[in-house]
């Protein structure tokens, strides 16, 4: 990873998105060029609001936040208030943002930025539905050759789905957008539920966030406490899976993770399996590998990393 790695965060905050953004903003290895909000966990007005709340919590009002797509390419928006609460950032009591949205549309800013910066110098960290990225690629196909890598949280294979039996939420919301991204030829790293369901915020890990004592650390503990109730009821797991920070952590410490370069296709035609990531893990087809599909993580190492970075606020 170049130092600093110049990244764009595309996101639908979402408590786990918030932890990912905070981790990135606390890490000197990154230059965060901008944050593009997309509709997903909650509608766009709230994801664009929440992204600014997180920037202000980090003391980083300098990072521009852009509003992107308010609905998927071709389908009605599906949201996840049942997981994230009405605001999308339930848990801590955080003030409304005072920093303004950047007035440029997210997709236009993304295209202009990728065309202006050195080829391959920007990494996209995608934490929500892939609508913004797909719109940019459809509007300006030339930018595909300019993106260094897309690291995204999405999909599932052995872990199966969390919004339907077959599909993970980010891919399910906009499967056509995911298909554009997965067929773009851009180097991809995919952090699916297979790995994020091993990144559980146990009580001890949540206590470590809270013990940081800073407004950011306490807010993260309150976010993951709130986020946890849904997963505990659903999975009976020892804590909630902290999905999106795995994207940032992979860039910081890839050796904490393991996976395979395989082909991953997206189901877009069947309503029963819409949004399924058809991952050729056993390489039983001759389809060209298009993604590093990550299946495992050193969870203790991951939370040590997250806690260390969050301690810097």
Residues in region 236-295 near ligand RIB by CB under 6 A: 243-244
Of 14-22, 48-56, 198-206, 249-257: span binding ligand RIB (CB under 6 A): 14-22
Q: Which residues pair with 291 in a beta bridge?
A: 262
Q: Which member of 17, 174, 267, 280 binds ligand RIB (CB under 6 A)?
A: 17
Q: Is 17 in the site for Ca ion (CB under 5 A)?
A: yes
Q: Is 10 in the site for Ca ion (CB under 5 A)?
A: no
Write out the DSSP string of 188-253. Answer: EEEE-HHHHTT-EE-HHHHHHHHHT-SHHHHHHHHHHHHHHHHHHHHH--SSEE--THHHHHHHH-
Which among 100, 302, 265 is positioned nearest to 178, based on CA atoms?
Answer: 265
Q: Which member of 30, 66, 109, 169 binds ligand RIB (CB under 6 A)?
A: 169
**Under rule CB under 6 A, how many of the chain's residues touch ligand RIB?**
15
Q: Is 280 in the site for Ca ion (CB under 5 A)?
A: no
Q: Which member of 127, 143, 212, 220 binds Ca ion (CB under 5 A)?
A: 127
Q: Which member of 109, 157, 168, 225 binds ligand RIB (CB under 6 A)?
A: 168
At 77 the three-state DSSP class reads: coil
82 flagged as catalytic:
no
Q: Which residue's CB is nearer to Ca ion, number 12 or number 280?
A: 12
H or E segment and range at residue 54: helix 44-57
Q: Is 197 in the site for ligand RIB (CB under 6 A)?
A: no
Q: Is 231 in the site for ligand RIB (CB under 6 A)?
A: no
Instruction: Determine contact, residues 310/26, Cβ cutoff 8 Å.
Output: yes
Shortest Å distance, C-beta 20 to Ca ion: 8
46, with CB counted inside 10 A (0-12, 13-18, 19+), is buried
From residue 135 to residue 164, the character string flagging contacts with ligand RIB as x (rule: CB under 6 A) and all else as - is: ------------------x--------x--
At 8 the three-state DSSP class reads: strand
Q: How far is 276 from 284, CA to CA, in rounded Å?
A: 17
CA angle 115, 118, 119 (to 5 degrees): 75
Site for Ca ion, rule CB under 5 A: 12, 14, 17, 127-128, 244
Tell me the catalytic residues.
Answer: 243
Site for ligand RIB, rule CB under 6 A: 12, 14, 16-17, 40-41, 127-128, 153, 162, 168-170, 243-244
């Amino acid at each position: 990873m170049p130092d600093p790695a110049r990244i764009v965060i595309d996101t639908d905050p979402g408590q786990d998105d918030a932890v990912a953004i905070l981790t990135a903003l606390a890490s000197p290895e990154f230059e965060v060029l901008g944050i593009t909000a997309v509709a997903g966990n909650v509608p766009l007005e709230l994801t664009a609001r929440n992204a600014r709340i997180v920037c202000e919590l980090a003391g980083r009002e300098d990072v521009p936040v852009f509003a992107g797509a308010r609905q998927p390419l071709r389908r009605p928006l599906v949201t996840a208030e049942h997981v994230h609460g009405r605001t999308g950032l339930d848990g801590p009591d955080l003030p409304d943002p005072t920093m303004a949205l950047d007035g440029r549309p997210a997709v236009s800013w993304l295209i202009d930025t990728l065309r202006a910066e050195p080829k391959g110098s920007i990494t996209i960290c995608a934490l929500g539905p892939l609508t913004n990225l797909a719109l940019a690629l459809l509007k300006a196909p030339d930018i595909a050759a300019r993106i260094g890598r897309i690291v995204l949280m999405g999909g599932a294979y052995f872990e199966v789905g969390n919004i339907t039996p077959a599909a993970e939420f980010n891919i399910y919301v906009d499967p056509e957008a995911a298909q554009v991204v997965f067929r773009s030829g851009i180097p991809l790293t995919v952090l699916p539920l297979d790995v994020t369901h091993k990144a559980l915020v146990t009580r001890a890990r949540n206590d470590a966030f809270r013990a940081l004592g800073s407004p950011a650390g306490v807010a993260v503990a309150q976010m993951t406490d709130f986020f946890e109730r849904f997963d505990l009821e659903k999975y009976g797991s020892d804590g909630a899976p902290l999905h999106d920070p795995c994207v940032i952590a992979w860039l910081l410490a890839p050796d904490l993770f393991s996976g395979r370069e395989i082909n991953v296709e997206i189901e877009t035609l069947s309503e029963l399996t819409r949004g399924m990531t058809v991952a050729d893990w056993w390489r039983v087809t001759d389809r060209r590998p298009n993604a590093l599909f990550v299946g495992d993580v050193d969870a203790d190492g991951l939370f040590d990393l997250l806690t260390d970075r969050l301690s810097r606020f």
